[in-house]
Amino acid sequence: MDLQKRYEELKKQNFPDGERIKFIADLGASEEIEYHYQLICTDRDEGTNLNLSGSFYKHDKEGLEYLFEVLDNEKDESIKVFTVYLMAEILSKLRHRDFYVEFCNKLIPVMNALIETKDDLLRQKIIITLGWIGFSDEIDILTKQILENKDSLCRAWAASSLMQMSFHGVKKEFLCEKSKFCLALAIADEDDLYACGIMIESAQILFGKKWISSSAVEDVDAEKIEKARKSAVRFLNK
């Protein structure tokens, strides 16, 4: 049975987990790159959360080249951001491939242009992708978002993305040096407690400290966040 027929059958059965997982694996192993992308878009539009994008990285270089074509021909800003997010997610799984740096260098200017969007939700997605595949040149873009963005989640994810960079090839010492002043200022001034917690948690991972627990951040525990804020600001201002 071909993939399209299987998809229709699965849809009638409301996508049972076992069959859905096998279908996703087979999608990635197939040469049906365009159809796979169309299904991912359908999944997004219908809000079904089937994780059909999970195997797109198996299309390897050919899959990314197809997505670059989509970007080149797409005018809709939200679809462009959605596609960039998918590409960054795929590239983060293909760091070992010889085309990784070349494709990142091609994609990052698109990301840097899209970060100027007026839509906060779209900007949040772009900020997250910079943490996945950004290089040291993108540190200044993220610190600017932390200090100047009017959306609290954009500020929070920008701090988180700085921390993510340390896991993805940007030297931690350089990141700390470039971001210390910015994080001190942002943590001291942040009036959204959840965003403040995310910033503190990101800073403590970067600087190897233990000021706050993840559960205190998730619970937006005001007392613990304020206590951690004082400790973090004191350390970062040294």
pLDDT tens for 167-187 read 988 999 999 999 999 999 999
- The mean predicted confidence, pLDDT, of the chain is 95
* pLDDT value at 55 more than 80: yes
Domain count across the chain: 1
Q: Is residue 65 part of a domain?
A: no
- Locus of tokens 């849809």: 11
Looking at residue 225, its amino acid is I
Residue 186 located in a structural domain: no
Q: Does the structure show a pLDDT above 80 at 1?
A: no
5 falls within a domain: yes
DSSP-based three-state secondary structure for 74: coil
Q: How many other β-carbons are positioned within 10 Å of the β-carbon of residue 32?
A: 17
Question: Domain of 9?
Answer: 1-56
Degrees, nearest 5: CA angle 194-198-200: 115
Helix (H, G, I), strand (E, B) or coil at 220: coil
Provide the pLDDT for residue 169. 85
Average pLDDT on 51-64 reads 96
In a domain, 153, yes or no: no
Contacts from 6-11 at CB under 8 Å and sequence distance 24+? 7/39
